[in-house]
Amino acid sequence: MIEIITADITTLEVDAIVNAASNDLLGGGGVDGAIHRAAGPLLLKYCKTLGGCRTGEAKISPGFELPARRVILTVGPVWSGGDAYEAPLLRACYVNSFELALENAVHSIAFPGISTGVYGFPKEAAAKIALDVMLQYEDRFDRVIACCFSEADAGLYRQVLKAKL
């Protein structure tokens, strides 16, 4: 069962939360900024050793001061109209995050709406991709959480999920 919740992802007690990071992995605004603030300065120190991350790929770090044990850092595509492989790149973020989770004995995982903030990916199209991949992987996890940041986003996710089932 995919859980669709409205919450600040930094508060979740799960094996891993996913961060919508930037290519340099050096922190930014939005969910990335919130995760760095909650994890403490050791996260940035650790991220500096990871050598950045290509768009669509994923890396993993400890959770440091977060209630979550790990942070999976993935870099979503910047929306530039839809003809720049944004959809397959966003799908790759979810797939690579799940694969990294499986390799690291992560049994519960929470995702934010990757690319749907500053990166401008249209929310409904992004929710379709996110839920499509979540449905592919949910059987291999105890908990798969779509962590929305507003009730409106959660409503959209519920509507998209209902249409898929």
* Centroid of chain to Cα 90: 10
| Residue 115 in the binding site for ligand ADP (CB under 6 A) | yes
8, 24, 32, 142: which one is catalytic?
32
Q: According to DSSP H, which parts of 138-164 are helical?
A: 151-164
Among 2, 14, 20, 130, binds ligand ADP (CB under 6 A): 20
Please check whether residue 113 is in contact with residue 78, taking contact to mean a CB–CB distance below 8 angstroms: no
In terms of C-beta density within 10 A (0-12 exposed, 13-18 middle, 19 or more buried), how is residue 118 classed? middle
User: Is 8 marked active-site?
Assistant: no
Query: Which SS3 state, helix, strand or coil, does residue 98 take?
Result: helix
Asked if 63 interacts with ligand ADP (CB under 6 A), we say no
Residue with smaller CB distance to ligand ADP, 20 or 60: 20
For ligand ADP, which residue of 46, 137, 141, 149 counts as binding (CB under 6 A)? 149
Dihedral sign computed on CA atoms, order 51, 52, 54, 58? positive
Closest by Cα among 139, 68, 59 to 101: 59
Per the structure block, which two tokens stand in for 130? 């996110």
State in angstroms the smallest separation of the CB of 149 from ligand ADP: 4
What is the total count of residues that contact ligand ADP (CB under 6 A)?
19
The distance of closest approach from Cβ of residue 157 to ligand ADP in the complex, given in angstroms and rounded to an integer, is: 11
Tell me which residues are annotated as active site.
32
Give the residues lining the site for ligand ADP (CB under 6 A).
Answer: 8-10, 20, 30-32, 34, 76, 112-119, 147, 149
